[in-house]
């Protein structure tokens, strides 16, 4: 619904968000199916699909179920209500899971086996393996297990979200004369889900056995004198949305700390069992979790493939992984001990992660912490990780007497606990810690250092499209900009003032900001291209982001297309816009890049009558980013750096014919192929161009 006109945007011209997310996971799974990708990386992609599906059920499916329980009949922009969406989601997920496990069993595991990486099945254990595994069970597993027999005094236990459990059917009487026929065994999370056997026992270089196989083989040891009739592994996924009424709480951090433990015990939304689980046991479990048959998902293998994601790190086979590389560093910063402030004063500096190192960002804060001329440091924190050099540098700066102000977003999903811990540590050393604005997540990526130079204060700023997280900076593509431009720095200071203080939002010089101006400025830029096209001038929009969902923006892009504006969209995840519809969007092309690195950059280009305006942002084009978050979008002013963003961040991806997927008007994607053209892979070419490769980068 248009917030200004009240016009209803619901129509078949919009693609359903949940179904679009599942389309994205189809593309990720295609990476696992790609035989040209190293086998251990294919296994990793397979696990990423499972991890994505976990969050999809915890958040998106849980939300749909809540709407259904509240008897909501409201339809989304695509015209589908929650019940219709959930029905299609279930159908697609069943197909996706079947495809995933078929790939695991018929291809991934056999290829790993060929390379001496084996997962030993119970039926094939030899005598030495059985003996080693029994000793392991008795010494390492059994002491930490707590089997729970189900009877009137032992009701069905509270099962943790996404934990591994076993439903055991028994016959006979125990030591107290009880003859309960059912028991539950919960596998503690401290136990690894895959166990590496010694090579002399496994008979290969890397022989693994699943914890589930060990428990299946020895579950009888837990129920002495009773006969085990069956043992079935299962896993329940729960609603992981946090319910904190930000308008009612007096202390958000304390309220959140009280709510976090309950995330493990939210309402069940999915039950996973193995395909050999009997209908009686499956029905019994569904009843315990208050789920229906439609919520049951049978799998042909382990119920939690996510736990296999650590296998590549346990196997020392570089030939079966992506080639190693060392992120490059801009020439101005190459000199050991380079003065970050001197470099930034001279010119703006652009970093393109992961092809270029995140270290200069850490260097800036570490130098600021030690520099007696620095008087203040301000930073936003959304995701930064449990162990972070950057956060340690902020702690050091506060200990050295700097005015350190950190805006910590406590509601960064699944990072809440880490952020609470950092907030506590920073407060202990005297830093000012604030939690942003009630009702608006602080998602902007900003860092500002204030330094006294020649008797006056000067500001230095870093703005980014990604999180201040050194580990993900090696896995996600993002841009970061250092600048000492006075007006840009004044804008950043104004946003920090809004976040930490009170008062009306002042007009900014360069930055576009959510929830105040970003949406209207993007709309204005699109409409300007529309106007130029109608005047007979060449008009072009290129936008790269993670998701495109906001209806008014989509409608504006449709209108621009009809006016003759060429629109190129590079959307990694879900895109609700339908390209190539005659009379509506024939001038719009949508592509998605799925490669070695997670595409995370947000870049907005408007030709603007040869002005070639380029903006970088922390925001996707979604309702939440425009209206319920604090985001910033900043221009790249330096001509050389602007060209770099266009060339590296946009043109390279538009030319890609190896990792690109083109979207059809029906919302489905087809993989681009080189055909008779030269193979072009954006990520590989950027690695060769910007990073220091330890080995020639493969075209993957």
Go through the chain and tell me how many residues it has: 700
C-beta separation of 108 from 32 below 8 A: yes
Rounded to whole angstroms, how far apart are CA atoms 402 and 373?
Answer: 10
Catalytic residue among 218, 352, 440, 443: 443
CB atoms within 10 A of CB 34: 15
The residue among 303, 394, 348 whose CA lies nearest residue 101 is 303
C-beta separation of 545 from 602 below 8 A: yes
Rounded to whole angstroms, how far apart are CA atoms 497 and 487?
Answer: 15
End-to-end Cα, the chain, rounded Å: 41
Q: Tokens representing 208?
A: 């693994």
Rounded to whole angstroms, how far apart are CA atoms 393 and 191?
Answer: 34
The residue among 570, 619, 355 whose CA lies nearest residue 477 is 355
Q: Tokens representing 454?
A: 């020649």
Tokens 């204005």 — which residue? 524
The residue among 122, 48, 34 whose CA lies nearest residue 311 is 48
Q: Tokens representing 386?
A: 């449990």
The residue among 19, 16, 44, 17 whose CA lies nearest residue 29 is 44
Q: What is the DSSP letter of 331?
A: G
Q: Look at residue 207 and give its three-state secondary structure.
A: strand
CB atoms within 10 A of CB 312: 20
Distance between alpha carbon 243 and the CA centroid of its chain, in Å? 21
The residue among 201, 182, 184 whose CA lies nearest residue 145 is 184
Known catalytic membership, residue 94: no
Rounded to whole angstroms, how far apart are CA atoms 72 and 658?
Answer: 43
Helix (H), strand (E) counts: the chain: 22, 29
The residue among 476, 525, 524, 522 whose CA lies nearest residue 627 is 522
Which residues are part of the catalytic machinery? 443
């Amino acid at each position: 619904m248009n917030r200004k006109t009240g016009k209803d945007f619901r129509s078949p011209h919009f693609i359903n968000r949940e179904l679009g997310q599942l389309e994205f996971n189809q593309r990720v799974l295609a990476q696992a199916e790609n035989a040209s990708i190293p086998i251990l990386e294919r296994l990793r992609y397979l696990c990423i699909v499972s991890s994505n599906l976990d969050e999809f059920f915890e958040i998106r499916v849980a939300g749909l179920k809540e709407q259904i329980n509240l008897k909501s009949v409201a339809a989304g922009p695509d015209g589908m209500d929650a019940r219709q969406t959930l029905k299609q989601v279930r159908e697609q997920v069943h197909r996706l899971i079947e495809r995933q496990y078929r790939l695991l069993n018929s291809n991934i595991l056999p290829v790993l086996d060929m390379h001496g990486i084996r997962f030993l099945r119970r039926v094939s254990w030899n005598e030495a393996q059985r003996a080693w595994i029994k000793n392991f069970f008795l010494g390492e597993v059994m002491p930490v297990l707590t089997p729970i027999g189900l009877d009137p005094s032992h009701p069905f236990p509270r099962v943790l979200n996404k934990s591994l459990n076993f439903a055991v059917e028994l016959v006979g009487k125990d030591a107290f004369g009880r003859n309960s026929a059912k028991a539950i065994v919960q596998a503690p999370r401290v136990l690894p889900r895959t166990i590496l056997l010694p090579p002399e026992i496994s008979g290969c270089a890397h022989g693994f056995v699943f914890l589930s196989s060990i428990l299946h083989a020895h579950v009888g040891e837990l129920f002495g004198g009773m006969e085990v009739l069956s043992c079935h592994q299962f896993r329940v996924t729960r609603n992981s949305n946090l319910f904190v009424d930000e308008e009612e709480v007096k202390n958000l951090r304390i309220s959140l700390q009280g709510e976090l433990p309950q995330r493990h015990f939210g309402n069940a939304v999915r039950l996973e069992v193995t395909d050999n689980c009997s209908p009686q046991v499956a029905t019994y479990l569904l009843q315990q979790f208050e789920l229906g048959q439609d919520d049951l998902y049978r799998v042909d293998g382990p119920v939690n493939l996510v736990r296999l994601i650590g296998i590549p790190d346990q196997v020392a086979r570089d030939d079966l992984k992506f080639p190693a590389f060392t992120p490059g560093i801009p020439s101005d910063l190459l000199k050991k001990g380079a003065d970050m402030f001197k470099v930034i004063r001279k010119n703006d500096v652009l970093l393109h992660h992961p092809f270029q190192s995140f270290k200069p960002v850490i260097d800036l804060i570490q130098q600021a912490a030690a520099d007696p001329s620095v008087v203040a440091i301000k930073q936003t924190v959304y995701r930064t990780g449990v162990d972070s050099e950057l956060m340690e540098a902020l702690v050091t700066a506060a200990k050295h007497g700097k005015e350190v102000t950190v805006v910590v977003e406590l509601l960064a999903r699944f990072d809440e606990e880490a952020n609470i811990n950092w907030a506590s540590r920073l407060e202990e050393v005297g830093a000012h810690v604030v939690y942003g604005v009630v009702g608006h997540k602080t998602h902007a990526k900003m860092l500002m250092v204030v330094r006294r130079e020649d008797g006056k204060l000067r500001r230095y700023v870093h703005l980014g499209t990604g999180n201040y997280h050194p580990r993900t900076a090696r896995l996600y593509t993002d841009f970061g900009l250092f600048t000492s431009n006075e007006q840009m720095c004044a804008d950043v200071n104004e946003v920090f003032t809004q976040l930490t203080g009170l008062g009306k939002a002042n007009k900014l010089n360069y930055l576009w900001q959510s929830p105040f101006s970003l949406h209207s400025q993007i709309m204005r830029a699109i409409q300007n291209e529309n106007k130029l096209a109608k005047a007979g001038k060449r008009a072009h929009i290129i936008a790269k982001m993670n998701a495109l969902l906001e209806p008014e923006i989509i409608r504006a892009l449709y209108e621009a297309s009809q006016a003759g504006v060429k629109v190129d969209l590079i959307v990694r995840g879900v895109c609700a816009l339908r390209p190539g519809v005659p009379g509506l969007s024939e001038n719009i092309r949508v592509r998605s890049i799925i490669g070695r690195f997670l595409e995370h950059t947000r870049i907005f280009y408007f030709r603007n009558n040869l002005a070639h305006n380029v903006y970088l942002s922390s925001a996707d084009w979604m309702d939440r980013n425009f209206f319920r978050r604090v985001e910033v979008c900043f221009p790249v002013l330096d001509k050389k750096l602007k060209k770099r963003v266009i060339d590296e961040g946009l043109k390279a991806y538009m030319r890609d014919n190896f990792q690109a997927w083109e979207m059809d008007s029906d919302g489905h994607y087809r993989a681009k192929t080189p055909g008779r053209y030269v193979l072009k892979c954006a990520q590989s070419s950027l690695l060769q161009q910007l990073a220091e490769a330890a080995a020639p980068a493969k075209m993957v």
